[in-house]
Amino acid sequence: MALKMNRQFVYVWFLTIFFWSCGGNGKDPSPEDNGKDRKVILTHWVDNIIVPAYGNFKTKFDAMKAKADAFTTSPTTSTLAEFRVAWVDAYIEWQKVELFEFGPADEYTLRNFFNIYPADVTGIAANLSDPSVNLDLPSSYARQGFPALDYLINEVGADEAQIISFYTTQPDAGKRVAYLKRLTDRMSALLSNVITGWPIYRETFITKTGLDIGSSFGNVVNAFVLYYERHIRSGKIGIPSGATIASAGTVNPDKVEAYYKKDVSLALAKTAHKAAMEFFNGKNVSTGAAGPSFKSYLDALEAKDVTTGTMLSKIINDQFETINTHLDGLAADLSQQVQSDNQPVVETYTSMQKLVRIIKVDMTSAMSVTITYTDNDGD
Amino acid sequence: MNNYFRKTTSAASLAIFRIAFGLLLFGSVLRFSAKGWINELYIAPKYFFPFFGFEFVRPLGNLTYVLFAVCGLAALMVALGLYYRVASITLFLSFTYIELIDKSTYLNHYYFVSMICLIMIFLPAHVFFSLDARRNPKVHFDEIPLWSVHCIKLFVCIVYLYAGIAKINSDWLLEAQPLRIWLPAKNDLPIIGRLFNYLWVAYAFSWLGCIYDLSIPFLLLKNSTRIFAYGAVVTFHVITSILFPIGMFPYIMISTALIFFSAEFHSSIIQKLGTLLKVSTQFLHPQKQYRYPTMQVKAVLTVFVIFFVIQGAVPLRYAFYPDDLFWTEEGYRFSWRVMLMEKAGYAQFTIRDSEGKKIIADNKEFLTPLQEKMMATQPDMILQYAHILRDHYSKQGFRSPEVFVDSYVSLNGRLGKPLISPQTDLSREKESFYHKPWILPLDHEITGL
């Protein structure tokens, strides 16, 4: 293979390599290329989604906190009723921020203290007699947050009168009131930490635009996929229906979210699913308009099914919609649904599993993000 | 022909190569250890993925530290040219042993290093500017057989050429895959980053990368083009080191390519080093020619003929397998196929037995994140893992457990699809060099060499 080349050719060849290597005189990216600017997306997320969503949650949470305080000050039928309503409102709104478990929320591991269920009833009973118990330990995650409140306002008595007597006339009532108050105070303090943490973290967040481990964009992708896989697919649907590993075929009606309130478990799941979908599409929490997002990024990368030409973002959105349809067919009380007719719940799980594969493999691969958490459920 | 084998050249070329290579490997071992990878990759994992035929290579637990120490010491001794034969054999064996422990850590550049170590055992790299030569005037020479230097050059040429040939495929040239996925991920680099937003840049990188690999051996060999070519080698490898997490490899290639420079070039470096170290003129000019003992030369040459025949053949073995190479990875390793694929996957295993026991394995109970990532896209590792699960659950009271996998893999931007037939009981399948019929077809043809 004797290549005959003169100096001129080599010179040109070298220059080309050189040009290629150094990048040379690049023009400014044209507008369509801005879709690949991850800083724009990160900025949109923090300013127009994350911070306003926490703001909305805080409003609902503070309202619940006020009702909780009214109840602990004076446990009556009406303060209990108002507390319960406010608890549902706040729990629903929580579903719109639970997915932001990165940055400050990750620092304080907010989810661990707000929404680990099923509630540990025995543990709560133990804590009630010792209201000053350490609540930071992993063993105490399921003894606080919304699931513990669910138990404490819906299940500690056969009817409202008994629940009120639980906090008024029964022995240890004072300790119980103190524990209830401690739980809501604690949630309030943690939430404040996260909310005040965001403006401080903002600059770091929007400048760490890499896709590698430890960069904001990579972290968000990982948190998003993990949240959908473990906390929506498995937690809300898979485990109760017995479709996942941990439950291996048997239904677990007692493991639904808001088990004691009963009729809101589906609403919570739907809200969380919708929040994930809206985050995927970059929906501005204040204006409702779509903005820079996973979707716009995937579109800018022209990620698509090469066989059909369908955009990957459309495939993902279609799957979100399919799941919506499945969720629409379920009863408001998922624990009742898995016992009476589990099949639709299993089908919902299957359609969610399909989405997990797409976002975990196709989406991350198209974006060149490494999934850093290991597989599966069971924690 | 006989004439060729009688030709000699300055021993400086191999001496420089020996020093550079030994020091770089020594540095690599230090770096590896400093990053905590010895424990992370070779001690902490509960299970390992040995290579087919090399199952006797077992992890050594805490002795792995000793193995690395031995490897690092051997590398240093090679650099110094101290007890060279023993050191080079030890270096080859220890380094190769490490690389054979777990497939998850397979990288072409480790294989490259391993093969260079093997070649070095048979070369008179220690006869000049070495502690051996200093200790023992009997092994002190300044001329060595020309072919011994050519062995290294030939091997480097083979590596570049096969790397270039592997790039002649439709994904790389026609789709600019996977660079069109990887480059935009680096669009936040200063100055050059924004360029990666353009698709044409991915195409330019792909085509030039291919042309580079295919032409660089010839340009390095030719006197008139060598200096340009070396500039390109440096530029190319520096750029890849900025873009991709490939550790020491760029520096190893940049140093290795020095072997292509003339004997005078290497001699002048030795002169400078000699002045620096204040060695005697006699040490730099023993004025003796190294000749392999007559009995040895035939054996050594036979070894090299066999070695190069194998090197030439192994990368072509993929042609014996049906289906797409990138998808099945049958015949993929040891072939200088570098950075050709963006492959991601997901694999979930179900184990069940005749008594109705059923469990879905929690992969993280068994594997590290790296192992899981690698396993999920490579059929032979999926099979190994299925056997790990079979054996584990047998001990857990499953009676002759069956193992099935639900897999989903995306390759070079194609939408994901199952890689392994979900109906195949992997507990009964055996590893072999035959095609694995339970790998599902890709359904997209990737044409090329």
User: What predicted TM-score, i.e. pTM, was given to this entire model?
Assistant: 0.90
Lowest-pLDDT range of A272-276, B308-312, B394-398? B394-398
| Backbone angle region of A264, left / alpha / beta, with phi > 0 → left and psi within -120 to 50 → alpha | alpha
**B372 vs A contacts (CB less than 8 Å):** 374-375
Spell out, as residue ranges, where chain A has pLDDT lower than 70: 1-33, 245-249, 372-379
- Answer whether B410 sits within 8 Å of A10, measured CB to CB: no
Instruction: State how far the Cα of B5 lies from the Cα of B22, in Å rounded to an integer.
Output: 27
Distance from CA of B418 to the nearest CA of A (A): 11
What local confidence, expressed as pLDDT, does residue A302 receive?
Answer: 93
Distance from CA of A279 to the nearest CA of B (A): 21
- Answer whether B360 sits within 8 Å of A248, measured CB to CB: yes
Identity of the residue in B181, B187, B224 whose CB atom sits nearest the CB atom of A366: B181
Average pLDDT over chain B reads 95
**B185 vs A contacts (CB less than 8 Å):** 211, 367-369
CA nearest A255: which of A120, A154, A157? A120
What local confidence, expressed as pLDDT, does residue A8 receive?
Answer: 56
Residue B346's DSSP bridge partners are B408
Q: Does A207 touch chain B (CB under 8 A)?
A: no
- Answer whether B235 sits within 8 Å of A18, measured CB to CB: yes
Average pLDDT over every residue of B438-447: 90
Per the document, the length of chain B is 449
> Coil, strand or helix: which one is A343?
helix
Helices (H), B84-225: 84-101, 108-121, 131-135, 146-166, 170-174, 179-182, 199-221
> Coil, strand or helix: which one is B346?
strand
What local confidence, expressed as pLDDT, does residue A22 receive?
Answer: 47
> Residue B134: CA atoms inside 13 Å, Cβ hemisphere, count?
12
Query: Which pLDDT band holds residue B446 (cuts at 50, 70, 90)?
Result: confident
Give the CA distances from residue B208 to residues A17, B225, B250, B282, in Å, rounded to whole numbers and listed in that order. Answer: 7, 17, 17, 47
Q: What is the ipTM of this complex?
A: 0.90
Q: Does A25 touch chain B (CB under 8 A)?
A: no
To test the contact with chain A by mutation, choose from B40, B199, B346 the residue with the greatest count of A C-beta atoms within 10 A, namely: B346
Which tokens hold the place of B333? 């390793």
- Answer whether A306 sits within 8 Å of B444, measured CB to CB: yes
**Which amino acid, A87?**
W
Instruction: State how far the Cα of A292 lies from the Cα of A37, in Å rounded to an integer.
Output: 9
Give the CA distances from residue B33 to residues A212, B30, B40, B66, B79, in Å, rounded to whole numbers and listed in that order. Answer: 22, 5, 10, 11, 19
- Answer whether A374 sits within 8 Å of B369, measured CB to CB: yes
**B212 vs A contacts (CB less than 8 Å):** 17
Instruction: State how far the Cα of A34 lies from the Cα of A40, in Å rounded to an integer.
Output: 8
What local confidence, expressed as pLDDT, does residue B447 receive?
Answer: 87
**B230 vs A contacts (CB less than 8 Å):** none
What local confidence, expressed as pLDDT, does residue A123 receive?
Answer: 96
Q: Is the pLDDT of residue B184 over 70?
A: yes
